[in-house]
Structure 1
Amino acid sequence: MQTSEFAKIWSKLSKDYRLHMENELAPTLTESQLTVLEVIQEQEKMKPSELTPLLATSPAAVTMLLDRMEKNDLITRERDSSDRRIVWVSISPKGREEVIRGLRIRDAFLSTVLSRISSHNQQLLLYLLGKITVVS
């Protein structure tokens, strides 16, 4: 079994990705914030509690992340008109601009990485990663 070799390669790729994203997204965005913006953009609006499992973190950490994002005008929060206990999170106009910028940065990095292998091997890699990925 090649698990230790896989772990080394995966760790290196993950580290390179995180470093690249943090450097390129700064100072207005982090990789976690990009993830939140991307998910909210798909849903239009979400409750903070819905983000907790997607980010694999605690409710307190999500609240702190959303606080920073609201302070930086990336998101807006508003109370539900029929149930004031519910808070909805949505993307601000600045957040929409930042998600576009962030996705361009991510796509450029991944294109550069994937360009090192043939188109056929890119398709094979996607297929194999799909086989080992747990879909929830």
Structure 2
Amino acid sequence: MVILIGRVSTANLAAGSVRVTFADRDDMVSGELPVLTPGGWGKGNAVPLPGERVVCAFLNHARSGGICLGTYFADDGQPSGTQDQRGVWFEDGSYVYYDRIAQKLNVKASGGVRIEGDLTVTGKVSASAFHDGGGRTG
């Protein structure tokens, strides 16, 4: 087995695959590599973007027959949060994370939150109005 580090050159979200360029292999570009993802009934769609550094495993020295194991914290460091928070932080400042110390699920969406389907709330509900500067209160 061969483990290589490279940069994603193209990403195919529909197929869940990437092509990767390996600088230490004379800029060799891989064939389509499936991206490793957690399995089970709730699969994700987090395919590394072009330019992201990834780790790939190959069964031989060929450009195919491998798998992209995923990206890792390197160039831009770890996303926001602490060791007690697990979630997803987005480029626009939005996030969804669970804080195990506060025992609270935190959601912030820059463009708002949309819920489709029935909503059941057990417990207290509080809301605060805001003024958006245009004369409206939300």
What is the TM-score of this pair, normalised by structure 2? 0.25
Higher relative contact order (CA 8 A, sep 6+): 1
Q: Select the structure of larger CA radius of gyration.
A: 2
Report the structure, 1 or 2, having the larger strand content. 2
